[in-house]
Structure formats: C-alpha cells, structure tokens
Amino acid sequence: MPKRRPHEPGRGIRRAGPRWVSRMVPPVMAQRAFRGAHARGWRRGAVPVGGRGGMRGVACHAEDRGAGDGAQRSEGGFGAIGSGSAVCRADRQTARRDKACGGGTKEGEGMTDQTEIPTWYVARTRPIGMREAAEDKRFFRVERDLMEAGFDFYLPMEVWDQVHHRSKKLMQKRRPLVHGYVFLANVQNFWALSEVKTIGGIIGVQGRPLTMADAEVEIIRQAETAIFNELALQRIQRRADKDRLTQKRLSKHFPHGTPIEITDGFLKGEAGRVIRTTGRRTVQIALDRLANLGTIELNVDGMQRVA
C-alpha cells in the first residue's frame, strides 16, 4: 500500500482574482488547510464559518485593502458542503457583468456613483450653530465651522434695523431665513462633514440624502433679495424723513429779520425781510419798496438769503 501523502497547508483552496473561492473538500481537510494557512500567515481573505456540522466551508468576501468609504464587502456563509462554491461563482458572474457594464467596485476606489452628483444638500444644524461666533459677531458658529472645513454653503439671512431701547441708536440685526438648516453645494466628503460639530446631519430618506435643484434654491435667493431691497427702501425713506424740512428747522434757517431776495415769479428781484415762518416750506416776508402792500407769503424755493 503506498504511503499516504501528507496534506499540504492550503490545499483545496484556490484564489481567483481578488476573491477566495472554496472547493468541495471534506470538512477535515478544509479545517487542516485553514489551520496551516493561518499558521503560515499567507491566508488573508477567507475566514472559517461554522455550521451545525462544524467547519463546512470557506467564507468568500472581497478584499477591501485600501478601499474608500464606499467600497462594498460581501461575505457568504454556508452550512453545506459545496454551497460556498455556488455563492462565489455567482459573485464572480455578477462582478464580470458589472465590469462589462462599466460599474462595480475596483480595488482602491469607492463605489461608482451611477447618478450625477447633485447640486444642493440640506443639512440640519445643531442649536449651538445658530449662535453668534465669539471671534466675529458678523457670522454664526455654523458659518465659521463650514468655512474652516472648506465647504461651499448657503445660509439665507433676514436683516432688519432695530432701535436700541437705551441709546436709541439704530442697530442692524440678522437671523437665518430658514432657521435650523443650511444648504451645502456639491458635497464630496460626507465623512468630513460629519466631523463639523455644528452640523447635526443631512436630510434624507432611508439613509439616502435628499437633494435640491438649483432652481429651488434660487427661489429662496429671490426671497432673500426681496427682504434686502425692502430694507434698503426703508433706510432711504428714513434718511429722507431725517433731511425733511420742518417748520421748526425752517425757522432756524430763516429767523426773524433775515434779508432775502425773491428769485422767481412776478416779484423777481425784489428784496425784503422775513417776518416769521408759516409752514414747513413757506415764510411771511415784508418787501422793502412795497411796504404799503403789507406782508406776503412765499415758498422758500422762490427766494434766497442775502448776505
């Protein structure tokens, strides 16, 4: 009887591409093969899987050394002899089909995105993010953190003027137009976004982030622009009211006895003196040459002071 050949470590296991594939080998030989392979340190991809009958097969999974965050890892456990081969064969066929279609995951790369990168994402901010930054009161904390992290974001604002209750000075106030949310453009690294302490998460459904079209964000921009335009009109009106000529201010500009000269009308060139102010833009004057006519009332636009 010929001498039995000792079993070689790793016999019964063959490598096909980036996957470890099991063969239909007896459980004892597969167990010895695993032990020898682990002892020599060259076994990397396959891991033993236990079933009712102990060691029944080999787990087949993709090696993801150096893969990105989107790399997929598939593991197959089986309790009957030969089931691992069927699973791994199906995985290889799927990989070939994905490769022919231009999809699939390559080693050292993330999962291929089948859709176009969306324009805008909506992120929920933490309550502390809506507070003013200690370094610069012009920015909120979420704005400061996103700028430091290098993200392109849009935080619509509502601005208004408020009079201080003590000093009566006019102060400019600002607050988010959509409180608790910020819009992020072309996010490529969600892991880095999760490290921003003032961001609570991305709005999504079933683990997938929702996106917004640029046209929808443009509607919010138009609403923000309308608020700024209204504030600008209010400031212009406030400045005009401040510069508006009142009767009290007119009396300081044309006090009693001020010499004037008429510059418009049929009395153009006549000189006179101011008696008193009668309105916001009218004064009562007495003419020098026509004193017997008494006093007349003129608009301040039709006369000027004489030095």
Q: Residues 100-115: pLDDT tens digits?
A: 444 444 444 444 444 4
Q: How many CB atoms lie within 10 A of CB 101?
A: 8
- Does 110 reside within a domain? no
Q: How much is the pLDDT for 58?
A: 33
Kindly report the CATH number assigned to the domain that includes residue 260: 2.30.30.30
The span from the CA of 20 to the CA of 31, in Å, is: 15
Q: How much is the pLDDT for 146?
A: 93
Q: Which domain holds residue 252?
A: 247-305
Which residue type is seen at 32? Answer: R
- Shared-domain flag, residues 202 and 260: no
Helical (H) or strand (E) element with 181: strand 181-185
Total domain count for the chain?
Answer: 3
- Shared-domain flag, residues 156 and 182: yes
Among the candidates 207, 223, 242, a domain finishes at: 242
Residue spans of the chain under pLDDT 70: 1-118
Q: Residues 165-216: pLDDT tens digits?
A: 888 888 888 888 888 999 999 888 888 998 999 999 999 888 888 888 888 9
Tokens at residue 240, please? 């005009």
State the burial class of residue 129 (Cβ atoms within 10 Å of its Cβ: 0-12, 13-18, 19+): buried
Kindly report the CATH number assigned to the domain that includes residue 158: 3.30.70
- Shared-domain flag, residues 262 and 229: no
Tokens at residue 241, please? 């009211």
pTM for the complete prediction?
A: 0.45
- Does 105 reside within a domain? no
Cβ 247 vs Cβ 283: under 8 Å = no
Q: Which residues contact 185 (CB under 8 A, 6 or more apart)?
A: 119, 120, 121, 152, 153, 154
Tokens at residue 4, please? 């039995």
Tokens 């974001």 belong to which residue? 153
Q: How much is the pLDDT for 5?
A: 54
Q: Residues 40-52: pLDDT tens digits?
A: 443 333 333 333 3
- Shared-domain flag, residues 253 and 235: no
